[in-house]
């Protein structure tokens, strides 16, 4: 499956970004193969309505789970509708650290609405 982690830079060593819609990068990791793809977020400076558009990006990349710090109301609704599960990571570690937490089952689900 494909998991998305919001990040401050590209790559799995990048620090995790707490915000969802305006995260500088989305890092998509294939949990079966371990391959990762970092996508720069075009919505960082967008005026508004960022949440729903960010969720569409996740859906386009086939993500079925996202790890981030917090999501707004509209993003939450879109994630729920898209069946994408959200998990909270608010530590100061890297994308790889967050992913390790997810795999170990230690991350708590994020309240979406």
Partner 1 sequence: MIRLAVVSGKGGTGKTMVAAALADVSGVPQVLADCDVDAANLSLLLDPRRVSTEEFRGLAAARIDLARCRDCGICADRCRFGAIVRRDDAWTVEALHCEGCGVCTYVCPMGAVSMEPRLCGEIYVSATALGDLAHARLFPGSGNSGLLVNEVKKRALARSAGKDLLLADGPPGIGCPLIATVGGMDAVLVVTEPGVSALHDLERLVTVCRRFEVRIVVAINRFDLAEDICRRIEDYCDREGITVAGKIPFDPAVVGAVRSGRPVTRTESPAAGALRALRDNLFSELGLP
Partner 2 sequence: MKIAIASGKGGTGKSTVAANLAYVLSRSRDVVLVDCDVEEPNLHLFFPAAAVDVPVTTPVPAIDPARCTFCGECGKFCRFGALSVLKDSVLVFPELCHSCGGCVLVCPQGAVREVPRTVGRVACSRPLPRLTLVSGVLNEGEVQAPAVIRAAKMLGEGHPLAVYDAAPGIACPVIETLEGSDACVLVTESTPFGLHDLSLAAEVVEKLGIPAGVVINRSDGEDAPTVAFCREHDLPVLMTIPFSREIAAVQNRGGLICRDLPGWEERFAGLVRKVSP
Q: Does 56 bind partner 2 (CB under 8 A)?
A: yes
Per-residue x/- marks for partner 2, 32-51, CB under 8 A? --------------xxxxxx
User: How far from 53 is each of 10, 19, 22, 98, 112, CA to CA, in Å?
Assistant: 20, 14, 11, 23, 16
Q: Does 81 bind partner 2 (CB under 8 A)?
A: yes
Q: Tell the residue number behind the tokens 């992913």, with chain if given.
A: 99
Per-residue x/- marks for partner 1, 48-87, CB under 8 A? x---------------------------------------
Residues with Cβ within 8 Å of 86's Cβ and at least 6 positions away in sequence, in order, are 65, 66, 67, 68, 71, 76, 79, 109, 110, 112
Give min distance, CB of 68 to partner 1, in A: 16
Residue 108: HSE in the Cβ half-sphere, 13 Å Cα cutoff? 7
Segment near partner 1 (CB under 8 A), from 27-35, 40-48, 77-85, 104-112?
40-48
List interacting residues with partner 2 (CB under 8 A): 46-53, 55-56, 59-60, 62, 74, 77-78, 81-84
């Amino acid at each position: 499956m494909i998991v998305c982690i919001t990040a401050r830079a590209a790559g799995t060593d990048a620090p995790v970004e707490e915000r969802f819609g305006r995260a500088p990068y989305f890092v998509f990791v294939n949990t079966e193969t371990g391959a990762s793809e970092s996508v720069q977020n075009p919505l960082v400076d967008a005026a508004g309505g960022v949440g729903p558009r960010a969720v569409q990006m996740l859906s386009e990349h086939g993500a079925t789970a996202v790890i981030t710090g917090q999501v707004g109301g509209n993003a939450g609704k879109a994630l729920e509708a898209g069946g994408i599960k959200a998990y909270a990571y608010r530590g100061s570690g890297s994308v790889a650290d967050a992913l390790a937490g997810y795999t170990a089952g230690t991350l708590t689900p994020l309240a979406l609405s």
